[in-house]
């Protein structure tokens, strides 16, 4: 026999020939040379060396251990001195009592909602990421919670946490802000068989999430189709010229035509209008020619009007000069001045009568 000492916070298990014999705690003990002593730190979990069920037959050892059994549809949050230390998955665990303050919280994963008393800061810890679904609904959104494709409830803005399990959990979120829907490149025939393309837009808001998400499948596609049909119905009743004149009225027609129909989709149309009317190349060329001809005709009218006014002004001037010789001479001098402005050099050749001729211009006739 030999004497051994077990320090505080330590426990010893005595084995002989591989079989468990007894447990020894703090203090001094006699041990046979045939025995094997295995010491364990009581501040840590117990990694049992042989089948735990065999060890637990010893009531003294059993009283020193806290055994945690985790079922298949559970996890256990293991806290050490008040702080989360680890997450226990299905299986069996043993911890020494008396030194460390262990705490164990069992979480039922068979449910979707996290109903257990658990701090949300803990839920966001990386240890729990594999076991938790997180859904965030923004301040401008609402969500519909579906469990196994069945509606459970409407979710307002906030963060929601659900256990991960075999159930199918989805959240369909809807933006409650005003949304713009573009209908581009719609090829439509007018009543006079002119093919054109229209780019159209509507602005709408979801006002009833129950109708939009639950009562209807893909409400946006249905709304898109409704606008397409309303456009074709309206455009097809007018000729190309009539349509271009009434382009601004298309938006009001579509908005009013769909006002009652979109109620079933849970939406409300606030505005609608045409962005572009795109004509085929040949039609565009013809219309450009018509436009050029119209502008040319307008220009000709303006030119004739100006020519008439100019002629009338000249006639009035001539009548005044006919009755007033001095005015006639002033007009002559005005033209001489204009001519002189354009002369750089004068060369006089002849018999000297040029001076007399120039003088006669500025001398009143007798």
SS3 of the chain: CEEEEECCCEEEEEEECCEEEEEECCEEEEECCCEEEEEEECCCECCCCCCHHHHCCCHHHHHHEEEEEECCCEEEEEEECCEEEEEECCEEEEEECCCCCEEEEEEECCCCECCCCCCHHHHCCHHHHHHEEEEEECCCEEEEEEECCEEEEEECCEEEEEECCCCCEEEEEEECCCEEEEEEEEEEECCCCCEEEEEEEEEEEECCHHHHHHHCCCHHHHHHHHHHHHHHHHHCCCCHHHHHHCCCHHHHHHHHHHCCHHHHHCEEEEEEEEEEEECCHHHHHHHHHHHHHHHHHHHHHHHHHHHHHHHHHHHHHHHHHHHCHHHHHHHHHHHHHHHHHCCCCCCCCCCCHHHHHHHHHCCCCC
Alpha-carbon distance 338 to 4, whole Å? 137
Specify the length of the chain in residues: 366
Where is pLDDT greater, at 22 or 315?
Answer: 22
> What is the rounded distance in angstroms from the CA atom of residue 238 to the CA atom of residue 231?
12
Mean of the per-residue pLDDT values of the chain: 86
Q: Are 101 and 151 in contact (CB under 8 A)?
A: no
Structure tokens at 343: 């002369």
> Per DSSP, what are the bridge partners of residue 189?
195
Q: Does residue 365 register a pLDDT over 70?
A: no
- Phi first, then psi: give them for residue 330, nearest 5 degrees: -60, -40
The CA–CA distances, whole Å, from 151 to 114, 154, 158 equal: 18, 8, 19
Closest by CA to 22, choosing from 62, 73, 78, is 62
* Poorest-pLDDT segment among 1-10, 165-174, 184-193, 225-234: 184-193
Instruction: Tell which residue, 221, 224, 219, has the closest CA to residue 202.
Output: 224
Range of lowest pLDDT (109-118, 140-149, 195-204, 238-247): 238-247
Region 34-52: mean pLDDT is 93
Percentage above 70 pLDDT, the chain: 86
pLDDT grade for 356, boundaries at 50, 70 and 90: low
pLDDT tens digits for range 118-139: 888 888 899 999 999 999 999 9
Q: Is the pLDDT reported for residue 240 higher than 70?
A: yes
The CA distance from 320 to 324, in Å, is 6
Give me the residues paired with residue 4 across strands: 29
State which of 59-73, 307-321, 323-337 shows the largest mean pLDDT. Answer: 59-73
Residue 332: is its pLDDT beyond 90? no
115 pLDDT band (50/70/90 cuts)? confident
Beta strands 91-96 and 141-147, pairing class: unpaired
What's the pTM?
Answer: 0.65
- Kindly tell me if the per-residue pLDDT of 341 is higher than 80: no
Catalogue the long-range contacts made by 242-246 (C-beta closer than 8 Å, 24 or more residues apart). 243/190, 243/196, 243/277, 244/277
pLDDT over 90, % of the chain: 57
């Amino acid at each position: 026999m030999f004497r051994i000492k077990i320090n505080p916070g330590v426990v010893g298990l005595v084995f002989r020939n591989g079989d468990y014999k007894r447990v020894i705690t703090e203090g001094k003990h006699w041990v046979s040379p045939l025995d094997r002593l295995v010491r364990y730190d009581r501040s840590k979990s117990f990694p049992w060396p042989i089948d735990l069920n065999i060890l637990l037959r010893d009531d003294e050892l059993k009283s020193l251990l806290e055994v945690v059994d985790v079922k298949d549809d559970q996890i256990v949050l293991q806290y050490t001195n008040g702080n989360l230390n680890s997450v226990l998955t299905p299986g069996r665990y043993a911890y020494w009592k008396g030194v460390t303050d262990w705490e164990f919280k069992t979480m039922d994963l068979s449910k979707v909602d996290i109903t257990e008393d658990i701090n949300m800061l803990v839920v966001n810890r990386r240890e729990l990421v594999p076991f938790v679904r997180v859904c965030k609904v923004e301040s401008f959104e609402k969500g519909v919670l579906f469990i196994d494709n069945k509606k459970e409830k409407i979710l307002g803005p906030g963060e929601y946490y659900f256990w991960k399990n075999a159930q199918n959990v989805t959240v369909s979120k809807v933006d409650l802000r005003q949304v713009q829907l573009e209908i581009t490149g719609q090829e439509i025939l007018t009543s006079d068989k002119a093919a054109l393309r229209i780019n159209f837009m509507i602005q709408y808001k979801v006002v009833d999430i129950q109708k939009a998400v639950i009562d209807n499948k893909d409400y946006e596609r249905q709304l898109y189709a409704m606008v397409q049909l309303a456009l074709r119905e309206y455009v097809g009743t007018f000729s190309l010229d009539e349509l271009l004149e009434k382009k601004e009225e298309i938006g009001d027609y579509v908005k009013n035509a769909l006002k009652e129909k979109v109620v079933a989709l849970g939406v409300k149309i606030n505005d609608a209008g045409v962005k572009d009317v795109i004509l085929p190349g040949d039609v565009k060329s013809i219309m450009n020619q018509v436009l050029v001809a119209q502008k040319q005709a307008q220009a000709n009218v303006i030119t004739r009007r100006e020519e008439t006014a100019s002629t009338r002004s000249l006639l009035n001037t001539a009548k005044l000069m006919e009755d007033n010789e001095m005015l006639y001479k002033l007009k002559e001098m005005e033209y001489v001045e204009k001519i002189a402005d354009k002369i750089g050099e004068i060369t006089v050749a002849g018999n000297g009568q040029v001076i007399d001729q120039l003088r006669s211009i500025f001398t009143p006739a007798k």
